[in-house]
């Protein structure tokens, strides 16, 4: 039983090594890579050659030739693109509440309706407030008439005082009567304004253009000050709110200054074929979120077709100009390893050299190399699994469409 367990463990280790061969083969000792290259697996038709690879040319101990597809590395630039997720936020959103006690007597809008600023949405029983305003207007009219009469009387008395037909005291009394009447009219006007404010508080009107939510109360409900009646949100235009790593902040600000910054937004459920909504970034938060090392941004979107909904999840693409001075290769040429990224470079002698490279950025089917590769180098884009440092290859140029399709796959 113990011997069986030991054998099973060895088999598992061997299987793991075979599966991970693409990771360690580029850095394996030369004697091991040559041995593996010249010895085909058991059952491989090439084993029928007797000494592994003799039919591919060379002697029985010569390295086998591997067919690969290659492409040329080119000097160029790549667009600076950041992709993230975010949410749609309304420019304004609020719950409309009553400001006075009363009975809800009328609802003039429908749930979910689009309304304009100033539209009447609901009304409380306003009979008492309307009567108070009417009473104030009547009192104002009465006292205004009294004021007009005192003005006329003041003019008559003044003429008599100037002619000596009456005393100075009579003139002073007439002047005091005018001032008293003016004060009374002022009080009436203030009372009318106060009662008109109370009357306006029995009406709920839209504070801005937007879409209503659902009314939370029914007709006949007794409401108190602060009771919410309906919500409203401005839905055109809207904000696209998202976050980017703080390391991108300098790039974003520079692109804004150069007027090269553009934001494209799609619903998370939409396909790439769906037209994107575009707009400028209008807000960068004044602080970085320490927990996520990110900064919040907002882009302003017209949303004329109302396809974007407040709270909706969105895919965001931020274009911030281009990065120059790169060596551009197909993305499939760059192979990830635990120690970084590598490419397989084909030399003039058709032998492969493993190069460690620094990938500055990627853009779909292309990768931009900052260090480790020169323009004009020939890199392998297909067939890397059989390659190690020094492998002899038979290169074939990759058609552009084929390379792009491989990158997308």
Name the least confident of 31-35, 233-237, 384-388: 31-35
Nearest Cα neighbor of 345 from 297, 310, 391 is 391
Structure tokens at 232: 């409203």
Phi and psi torsions of 283, nearest 5°: -150, 130
- Which CATH entry fits the domain spanning 81-91+234-322: 1.20.1440.230, 2.40.10.10, 2.40.30.170, 1.10.287.980? 2.40.30.170
- Residue spans of the domains in the chain: they are 2-63, 81-91+234-322, 96-121+205-232, 127-201
Flag whether pLDDT at 316 surpasses 80. Answer: yes
Q: What is the mean pLDDT of residues 218-242?
A: 96
Place of tokens 């100037």: 162
The residues near 352 (Cβ < 8 Å, ≥ 6 apart) are 344, 345, 346, 380, 387, 388, 389, 390, 391, 392, 393
Q: What's the gap between Cα 65 and its chain centre? A: 51
Flag whether pLDDT at 330 surpasses 80. Answer: yes
Structure tokens at 279: 């707009």
Q: What is the mean pLDDT of residues 246-260?
A: 88
What's the pLDDT score for residue 364?
82
How would residue 78 be classed by pLDDT, with cut points 50, 70 and 90?
very high
What's the pLDDT score for residue 409?
38
What's the pLDDT score for residue 389?
92
Cα→Cα distances 297→59, 65, 184, 261, 318, Å = 65, 54, 57, 12, 11
Q: What is the mean pLDDT of residues 67-94?
A: 94
Flag whether pLDDT at 407 surpasses 50. Answer: no
Fold held by 96-121+205-232: OB fold (Dihydrolipoamide Acetyltransferase, E2P) (2.40.50)
Q: What is the mean pLDDT of residues 99-120?
A: 96
CA angle in degrees (0–180, nearest 5) for 377-383-386:
110
C-alpha atoms less than 13 angstroms from C-alpha of 307 in its C-beta half-sphere: 17
Place of tokens 């009387």: 153
What's the pLDDT score for residue 340?
92
CA separation for the pair 117, 208 (Å, rounded): 4
Phi and psi torsions of 282, nearest 5°: -115, -5
What's the pLDDT score for residue 19?
53
- Which CATH entry fits the domain spanning 127-201: 1.10.287, 1.10.3210, 1.10.260, 1.10.3470? 1.10.287
Residue with the larger pLDDT of the pair 22 and 76: 76
Task: For residue range 136-195, list pLDDT tens digits in order.
Answer: 999 999 999 999 999 999 888 888 888 887 788 888 888 899 999 999 999 999 999 999
What's the pLDDT score for residue 286?
94
CA angle in degrees (0–180, nearest 5) for 247-249-254:
125
CA separation for the pair 275, 87 (Å, rounded): 18
DSSP secondary structure string, 217-284?
--TT-EE-TT-EEEEEE--SSEEEEEEEEGGGHHHHHHHHHTT-EEEEEEETTS-TTSPPEEE-EEEE
Residue with the larger pLDDT of the pair 354 and 161: 354
- DSSP β-ladder status, 65-72 and 392-397: parallel
Is the Cβ–Cβ distance between 60 and 195 less than 8 Å? no
- DSSP β-ladder status, 340-346 and 352-363: antiparallel
The residues near 141 (Cβ < 8 Å, ≥ 6 apart) are none
Start-to-end Cα distance in the chain = 46
Helix, strand, coil share of the chain (percent; to 5): 35, 35, 30
Task: For residue range 30-68, list pLDDT tens digits in order.
Answer: 445 555 544 555 444 444 444 444 444 444 455 678 999
Q: Which DSSP state fits 399?
A: P
CA separation for the pair 380, 344 (Å, rounded): 6
Structure tokens at 287: 């602080």
Flag whether pLDDT at 402 surpasses 50. Answer: no
Flag whether pLDDT at 1 surpasses 90. Answer: no
Long-range contacts of 260-264 (CB under 8 A, 24+ apart): 260/319, 260/320, 260/321, 261/318, 261/319, 261/320, 261/321, 262/318, 262/319, 263/299, 263/316, 263/317, 263/318, 263/319, 264/316, 264/317, 264/319
Nearest Cα neighbor of 75 from 271, 328, 244 is 328
Name the least confident of 6-10, 242-246, 360-364: 6-10
Mean pLDDT (the chain, rounded): 85
Is the Cβ–Cβ distance between 401 and 390 less than 8 Å? no
Cα→Cα distances 194→73, 133, 184, 188, 203, Å = 79, 9, 15, 10, 15
CA separation for the pair 319, 84 (Å, rounded): 12
Flag whether pLDDT at 362 surpasses 80. Answer: yes
């Amino acid at each position: 039983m113990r011997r069986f367990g030991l054998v099973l463990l060895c088999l598992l280790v061997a299987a793991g090594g075979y599966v991970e061969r693409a990771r360690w083969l580029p850095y394996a000792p030369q004697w091991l890579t040559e041995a593996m290259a010249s010895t085909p697996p058991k059952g491989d038709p090439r084993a029928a050659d007797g000494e592994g690879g003799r039919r591919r040319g060379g002697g029985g101990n010569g390295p086998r030739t591997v067919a690969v597809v290659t492409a040329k590395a080119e000097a160029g630039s790549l667009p600076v693109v950041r992709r993230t997720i975010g949410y749609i936020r309304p420019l304004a959103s609020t719950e409309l509440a009553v400001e006075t006690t009363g009975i809800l007597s009328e609802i003039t809008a429908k749930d979910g309706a689009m309304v304009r600023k100033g539209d009447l949405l609901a009304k409380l029983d306003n009979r008492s407030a309307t009567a108070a305003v009417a009473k104030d207007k009547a009192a104002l009219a009465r006292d205004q008439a009294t004021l007009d009469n005192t003005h006329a009387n003041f003019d008559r008395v003044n003429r008599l005082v100037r002619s000596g037909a009456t005393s100075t005291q009579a003139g002073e009394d007439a002047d005091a009567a005018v001032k008293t009447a003016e004060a009374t009219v002022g009080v009436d006007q203030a009372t009318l304004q106060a009662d008109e404010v109370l009357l306006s508080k029995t009406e709920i009107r839209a504070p801005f253009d937007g879409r209503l939510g659902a009314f939370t109360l029914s007709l006949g409900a007794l409401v108190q000050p602060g009771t919410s009646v309906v919500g409203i949100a401005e839905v055109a235009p809207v904000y696209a709110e998202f976050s980017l790593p703080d390391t991108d902040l300098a790039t974003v600000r520079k692109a804004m200054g150069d007027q090269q910054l553009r934001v494209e937004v799609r619903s998370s459920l939409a396909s790439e074929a769906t037209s994107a909504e575009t707009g400028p970034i209008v807000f960068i938060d004044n602080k970085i979120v320490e927990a996520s090392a990110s900064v919040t941004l907002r882009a302003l979107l017209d949303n004329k077709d109302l396809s974007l909904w407040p709270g909706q999840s969105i895919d965001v693409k931020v274009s911030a100009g281009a990065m120059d001075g790169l060596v551009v290769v197909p993305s499939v040429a760059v192979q990830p390893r635990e120690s970084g990224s590598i490419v397989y470079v084909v030399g003039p002698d058709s032998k492969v050299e493993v190069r460690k490279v620094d990938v500055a950025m990627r853009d779909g089917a292309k990768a931009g190399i900052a260090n480790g590769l020169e323009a004009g180098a020939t890199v392998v884009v297909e067939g890397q699994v059989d390659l190690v440092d020094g492998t002899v290859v038979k290169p074939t140029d990759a058609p552009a469409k084929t390379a792009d399709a491989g990158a997308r796959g």
